[in-house]
Amino acid sequence: MEVKKFSNGFEYVEVKNSVASAKIALQGGHIFHYAHNKKEPILWLSDESVFEVGTAIRGGIPICWPSFGMNNSDLPQHGFARVSMWNLVCVNELNSNTTEVILNLKETQESLKLWDYKFDLELKITISDTLTLEMTTTNLDEKSFKLTQAFHSYFKISDITNISVNGLDSKLYFDALSSYNIRQNGDITFSAELDRVYQNVESPVVLKDTNAEVKLTSQGSSSVVVWNPWIEKCSRMSGMSNEAYKEFVCIETANAFEDFRTLGTRESHILKVTIS
């Protein structure tokens, strides 16, 4: 493990073990690279992503916390954790195949102005032949708070027209484009912009590509977000080329909409995903 900096001073942790490699920005607790050795990256990172303090990274796995989307109008979209500076607690080499990185975020004077709660947020990232993110939120305040959150995972694909997302057949989803609740019929394929929040998901979700598949197994979550901006929206988005929509799909482990959590004083909630 090494702590490195880009030329502008932006810090990240680089991990290499006998089976995989990863890069994690201290800003946002944001893993922006994960790959099995001698294989293509599993996570997508925009060629136009800017690594600058105060600017969210486009790609990898942004941490949406303590609000997903615009659920709290007093907060920036997807909350403030993804542009906050996290503390590197420790790096544990569990064995030659497995490295564990633990990061922590606590309230600051700036965060209290946005969101008036004291908290402890721990993120444990385990890099092996699988990638596991485990995030524990603890309420250290004297009043309860409502929590929505997500691992906003961008997956690298061969082409958006080649893939399907399986494991959500018959699940009810909220369509953010139409504001309707609709029931899924079969596997998800892509031929237009898609932005959906699936509810009551218990089983793993599988991304199938031409010659590969990725499985997401979640805990502490029953909502899954599936998103691709397609042509028009992609052309308007920052940190993304006009053709980028072809290169990725987002499948997000979340506590969104009716899957929100309310934490009383000293209560904790763990959100976890294993990507294999």
| CA distances to 32, 182, 224, 228, 254 from 196, in Å | 23, 10, 8, 10, 12
**Backbone φ and ψ of 233, nearest 5°:** -65, -40
Q: Is the pLDDT of residue 1 over 90?
A: no
Q: What is the pTM assigned to this prediction?
A: 0.96
Pairwise CA distance, residues 23 & 33, whole Å: 5
pLDDT recorded at residue 74: 77
Q: For 65-116, how does the pLDDT look when each residue is reduced to its tens digit (9 = 90+)? A: 999 976 666 788 899 999 999 999 999 999 999 999 999 999 999 999 999 9
Q: What is the mean pLDDT of the chain?
A: 96
Mean pLDDT of 137-141: 98
Q: Which domains does the chain have, with CATH numbers?
A: 2-275 (2.70.98.10)
Q: Please tell me whether residue 93 adopts helix, strand or coil conformation.
A: strand
